[in-house]
Structure formats: C-alpha cells, structure tokens
Structure 1
Amino acid sequence: MSNRIPALGGRERPANLAVLMRESFVALNDVVLARLAEGGHDAVRPAHAAVFQYLDDTGTTVSLLAERAQMTKQAMAELVRHLEDHGYVVRVPDPDDRRAKLVVPTERGHDVVALAQGLVPQIEHRVVEILGADRVEALRSDLQAIRAAFTAGR
C-alpha cells in the first residue's frame, strides 16, 4: 500500500487541519466500504460517497448532486452512470421540470444507505473509545463551528 500523503522536498508533507480531516474521513469511509463489499456491494467505490451523501430519497438532479458535491456535472454523471449500471439508482423524469431527470435510489441503493447508516453507531462508539466521550462531543461541536464559520455568507 502506498503512502497517501505526497512528498514535499523528499519528505511527507506536513498534515494541516484540512488534510487531517480529509484523511480521517477516508479512514472512516474505508470501514464503510469494506462492510458494503462484505454485504455484496463491491461495485460501490469511495467516489460514490459523493452520490449517496447528497442524494435525496425522492430524487435529485445530476446538476444538484454535482453542486452539492462540488464537482463537475460530467464527473457526477459518470458516477451516477456507474451506480445506474449496477442497479443502485435509476433516472426518472422530474415531475416539476419535464426537461430534467431525477436520480432516485433503488431498493439496492436504499440498502447501501441503510448499511452505511447502520454502521454510524459502531464507528462513533469506536471513536469514543479512542478519544473519550467528552472529547468526541467537543470535536463534534468544534467541527460544526468550523463549518458554520467558513460557510457563513455563502
């Protein structure tokens, strides 16, 4: 397995807060992906988190998914196409806009979301074991404060 942090001047780059938060997400997401694969969902890859994370139960356009995930429509459409080919989502006409299509989770897609959500208590329990309940609560509060401060006025 290669080192995920690129080198800078022959040494691993210093891990700033944004990198540490991203790498923590990757580590937690890897746990979920392994469980999904064990449950028969090995077609779901790390990039597909961007679809499932931002997909409304009632359906979401590719454009809105891309906007929410901060990626191009073309990249999001490719992720959606893969999930569609594997039976996780379908595209249906948008009843509010005849020109648009909604990406809607199938039963298989709902199963992925349910499995992932079902892991949240276990993962958060493990984090409590590592950090302690008070620090986890403080972390949650701090992350919410950071998010609010950096998204204010958007």
Structure 2
Amino acid sequence: MPKTPRRHQDDLASLFSLAFSSLSQELHQRLNELGFGDIRPMHGFLFQGLIPDGATAKTLVDLLGISKQAVSQMLDYLEDRGYVLRKPHPSDGRGKLVVLTERGWALIKAKEGIYTKIEHRWGEIIGPDHLNMIRSDLKQIIHSISEGDLSQKLRPTW
C-alpha cells in the first residue's frame, strides 16, 4: 500500500513560505496605511543592501542576483519616489553610491516597528520563550549551512 503524501501545509518549506507570506502581507498592508504604498516586497531586499552606509549598484546586483538593468530600474523607481539618492562615490570618482534619503530611513523605521509588533503578537500566540527558541534554532541552522555568514543568502528566490 503506497504511503499517503503529507499535506503540503505540513512540510517545512510550505510552513516557512506561509509564515513569510503572512508576515510580508501584513507588513505591506501596514506600510500602505502609513503612506508607503508604493513599496513592494522586492524592494525590501534592496533596502537591506543599503543599510547602514549605502552601496554601489554593482554591490546590489551581486546581493540580489539580478541584472544591472533590473537594479537600475528599481533604483530609478525608488529615487523617483524619494527613498534613495545616487551621489558621487567618496573613493571612486567615476562611481555612484546609493544611499537612503530621509524618507528611506523613515520607511526602515516603520518596517522595524511593524516587525516588532508582529513578532510580539506571534510571541503572544506561542509564548515569547518559544519564539526566541525558534529564532535561535533558525540562526543555528543558517549559520551551519552558510558557513557563518548569516547575510550571505539574504536574497529573494527570483
């Protein structure tokens, strides 16, 4: 008699995906309410590459794993909306450094506040100690498989 496959909601990949989708949907709903409705989930990965001191477009290409043209289009979009600014690179006369503007930093602050509230609510559901244990366990897994570089694979799976 063949084994019955597990329901997709029970495998870890689906659970991680569902949890991430839930978090992302709530984040963007709240950002929209705060006046940041022009930000999309893909932008969050780019913003991570700009914290704290900015980055070159090439660095963002490497971080995101997408084409130079795609990064340029994202930067144009975000610059037109006042989130980022391209300025001369301090040590490369031909290069540009992309930095967050005041509006960009306001978005980061809003995002962090929203994440804190979501995590607090999740902690109320399963208990803060359990949530911290999950965080610790995930960091241990990521640390182990990424050879100690937790940020190494912080990119979307385009």
Q: TM-score, normalised by structure 1?
A: 0.81
Report the structure, 1 or 2, having the larger strand content. 1
Cα offset, 1:70, TM superposition = 3.4
CA distance in 2, matches of 1:60, 1:68: 10
Q: Contact (CA 8 Å) 1:62, 1:103: kept in 2 or not?
A: yes
What corresponds to 1:127 in structure 2? 122
What corresponds to 1:59 in structure 2? 54
What corresponds to 1:3 in structure 2? none
CA distance in 2, matches of 1:63, 1:88: 19
Cα offset, 1:14, TM superposition = 6.5
1:30 aligns with 2:20: no
Q: Contact (CA 8 Å) 2:8, 2:14: kept in 1 or not?
A: no
Cα root mean square deviation, aligned: 2.1
**Could you say what secondary structure the match of 2:94 adopts?**
strand
Higher relative contact order (CA 8 A, sep 6+): 2
What corresponds to 1:100 in structure 2? 95
Percent identical: 38
CA distance in 1, matches of 2:62, 2:96: 16
What corresponds to 1:9 in structure 2? none
1:92-135 deviation digits (Å, cap 9, x = unpaired): 11111122211111111111001011123211111112221222
What corresponds to 1:109 in structure 2? 104
Cα offset, 1:73, TM superposition = 3.0
**Could you say what secondary structure the match of 1:40 adopts?**
coil
Q: 1:75 aligns with which of 70, 77, 100?
A: 70
1:79-103 deviation digits (Å, cap 9, x = unpaired): 2221111111011111111222111
**Could you say what secondary structure the match of 2:38 adopts?**
coil
Counterpart AA for 1:29:
S
Q: Contact (CA 8 Å) 2:9, 2:15: kept in 1 or not?
A: no
**Could you say what secondary structure the match of 2:36 adopts?**
coil
**Could you say what secondary structure the match of 1:138 adopts?**
helix
Cα offset, 1:27, TM superposition = 1.7
Cα offset, 1:51, TM superposition = 1.4
**Structure 1 stretches lacking a partner, 5+ long:** 1-11
Counterpart AA for 2:145:
F
What corresponds to 1:88 in structure 2? 83
Deviates most, 14-23 or 59-68: 14-23
Deviates most, 64-73 or 109-118: 64-73
Aligned length: 143
**Structure 2 stretches lacking a partner, 5+ long:** 1-6, 150-158
